[in-house]
Amino acid sequence: MWRGLYTGAAGMITQEKRTAVIANNLANVNTTGYKRDRALDEEFRPLLIRRINDNVPIHVTDFKGFSLHRRPPVVGTLGLGAYTSEIAVDHAPGAFMATGNPLDLGISGNGFFVIDTPQGLRYTRNGNFYRMPNGDLVTSDGQAVLSREGRPINIPEDAETKAEDRRAVLKQGGSLFYPQEGAEPRQATGTIEQGVLERSNANVVSEMVDLIDNYRIYEANSKAVTTQDTMLDHAVNEVGKL
């Protein structure tokens, strides 16, 4: 019964984390260039179960000379619950939204825009850019957009992208990414589309379906914990009296 409590509680914790991920995706449905997160779960190593009370003078597993070497036979495995092993970023492209603004840029294919931030180089798919009086292309936060040579861009048509390896960048927040330690930028294969913005790849309907499914799983684990608690209460307060 104790094992059942832990298994149910582990399932509730896992679904609670998944709910937080889905809620964050829903909150960023309208964030330009946002990439949805996915909670990846793994099962704890299952427990091998053997039948007990077989070590008696007359073996119940002995039949016409057949014996299982006097060891209790395996009857199956017992699952011990699951846990969230990773919060992965889904880099699937989002739909383009036409804006008519020549400084709005979207990447068709793989690649990122390179941004010069106070924390160093960062990568983004958010191409909502502006032109400074001196001609520099910047983000809405005033951070410079860099060319392939690492210099501020003065002409929008010169915009280049870097860092093709999607797993080489980690999400910082919003629509910004930063390179993992040791990751080197490479020439991207995507092309620049002018006058459009890449919308978030999070879909409201899909996220709501996941949220409802997640709630049902959480509820099932909650009922399992309640059942185990009731059984434990009977075992302690009623069976114990006998």
* Digit-coded pLDDT (tens) for 125-171: 999 998 888 888 999 889 999 988 888 887 544 444 445 555 567 77
- Residue position matching structure tokens 């032109």: 131
- 216 — phi, psi (to 5°)? -65, -40
Any domain includes 129: yes
82 falls within a domain: no
pTM strictly above 0.75: no
Residue 48 lies in a domain: no
Q: What is the pLDDT of residue 162?
A: 46
| Strand partners for 78 | 47
Does residue 162 lie within any of the structural domains? Answer: yes
Lowest mean pLDDT across 58-67, 75-84, 189-198, 207-216: 58-67
CB 127 within 8 A of CB 97: no
Contact 135, 158 (CB under 8 A): no
- Confidence check: pLDDT of 19 > 90: yes
**Mean pLDDT calculated for residue range 120-126:** 91
60 vs 115, residue with greater confidence: 115
**220 within some domain:** no
Residue 55, in any domain of the structure: no
Whole-number pLDDT of residue 110: 87
Does 31 map to a domain? no
Position 174 pLDDT exceeds 70: no
Residue 113 falls within a domain, yes or no? yes
Domain region containing 102: 96-198
> DSSP letter at 44?
P
Number of domains in the chain: 1
- Helical spans, DSSP H, in 83-203: none
pLDDT category of residue 76 using cuts at 50, 70 and 90:
confident
